[in-house]
Amino acid sequence: MLNNTPHTTFTNTLLDKPHVQILEVQKQRLDIMQIKLVFIPSPGVGHIRSTTALAKLLVDSDDRLSVTLIVIPSQFSGHASSSAYTNSEDRLRYCLLPTVDQDPKQTYLSYIESKKPYVRAAVSELAREVSTRPDSRLAGIVVDMFCMSMLDVADEFSLPTYIFYTSNVSYLGLQFHVQSLYDKKELDVSELRDSDIKFDVPTLTRPFSAKCLPSVMLNTKQFPYAFGRFRSYRKTKGILVNSVAEMEPLALEFFSGENTNTPPVYAVGPIMDFKTNGDDEKTREILSWLREQPTRSVVFLCFGSMGGFNEEQTREIAVALERSGHRFLWSLRRASPMVEDIIGSPPGEFTNLEDVLPKGFLDRTVDIGKIISWAPQVDVLKSPAIGAFVTHCGWNSILESLWFGVPMAAWPIFAEQQFNAFHMVEELGLAADVRKEYRRDFVVGVSEIVTAEEIERGIKCAMEEDSKMRKRVMEMKDKLHVALLDGGSSNCALKKFVQDVVENVP
């Protein structure tokens, strides 16, 4: 026995040493290798802006990384949301796909899928280019949450796939939870529309109202496809989420559990594009007006790139603003018609405001209000004059408002905005409620009118000085800023993502 012991130990050392040396050599190679990622954002200005900001953050965080963004052009001719991000930089390149064969009658998701051959060609060219450089590796594809059809392209090239989820962790949890209940036949989605049902969601502390579910989960024609998309999320290597750990601790705790059957979730937010048009004439005019207003005296109303209202609703907003007595900056646009299964065209402008607004409104508010069409939102929100933000609750808009410490009044319109409104109003107490169940899309057809009383109440609550909500907003503002610093929660999550990408290099 004594003679065998040294022999056994010596033999194991001989067997282990080459293995250790191989691993060490592989690690050294990865440390000096150029790692290339492909990003595919969906063709919407909010998605492209945040994806671009994430790509820049990644390449700035690690010298080994470079990113190619494959930009799908807007479905609408002349819409600049896609083409605005095409100036390549060091280790950040843009590949703008052709604008040919565009059909405005296509659904949003089928339009994205129709671009798959062009995406495949772009990835093939990049793979060929990388293959000629022994110091480079194509490490994976990061797809937008609406570009899951592109997983087929990643599979063709045997590349790991990751998701950039441009909403929040709590909503991601809702999607997985409802999909799981549906698959287990424990939830009949067709019964949820117009119901008063409330149910528990593992990423929320309060019972969630079915009236705040996204429309796609209430449409019996749409939800089978939606749940298929949620299932495909589970097949990826990881999900980058534009949120902050300190904002959603319960949601991240859920995803860190052992029985979730979900990929790793990285809360790397807030990811925001602060690119502004400060030299634009309209922007200069707006900012000049704001500089003349007292601190926190102006309520800002803006409803996103697709947000607009009809004449009747516009008049209700005007009445609410006048009754509130507050100064206002109002991004006013005319709603486009919503057609079933087809994304509407971007909102237009009213040709004559005097025909739409209450008689004499413009004259009575000339000294306290300003009506604009397009709004330079980031520039406006960081102005000291802004006291509150009436918002559609798009996730980018929410993050921008919190980043600048501006309380919100929640008025969702479509997509997941009803959930976001619930999250901000009920769960976190960071927004006042206008009507968090409101929606205007193909599920409900003609929407109800939100009354001037509801709007006025939301404005006054959000504008209230020294309120608990305003204090919570300022506390969250500090947490968002700290999260991005070295050692902050989002900074650490981003580094963990890079580490996992490197370990998964094919």
Catalytic residue among 16, 47, 379, 500: 47
Is 273 marked active-site?
Answer: no
Catalytic residue among 103, 135, 144, 196: 144
58 vs 41: CA distance, rounded Å: 15
371 vs 333: CA distance, rounded Å: 10
CA 143, 149, 155, 156 dihedral sign is: negative
Is 177 marked active-site?
Answer: no
Structure tokens, 432 = 């006042």
Whether the upstream peptide bond of residue 6 has omega within 30° of 0, thus cis, is no
In this structure, what is the dihedral angle of CA atoms 477, 242, 112, 78, given to the nearest 10 degrees?
30
334 vs 3: CA distance, rounded Å: 90
Relative to beta strand 208-209, strand 198-199 is: antiparallel
Q: Please name which of 358, 293, 313, 320 lies closest in space to residue 332, comparing C-alpha atoms.
A: 313
Extract the runs of DSSP E, i.e. beta strands, from 205-244. Answer: 208-209, 238-241
Exposed, middle or buried, 196 (CB in 10 Å: 0-12/13-18/19+)? Answer: exposed
Instruction: Locate all alpha helices (DSSP H) within 62-150, ordered by sequence.
Output: 108-114, 116-131
347 vs 354: CA distance, rounded Å: 19
Burial 385-422 (b: 16+ CB within 10 A, else e): bbbbbbbbbbbbbbbbbbbbbbbbbbbbbbbbbbbbbb
Catalytic residues: 47, 144
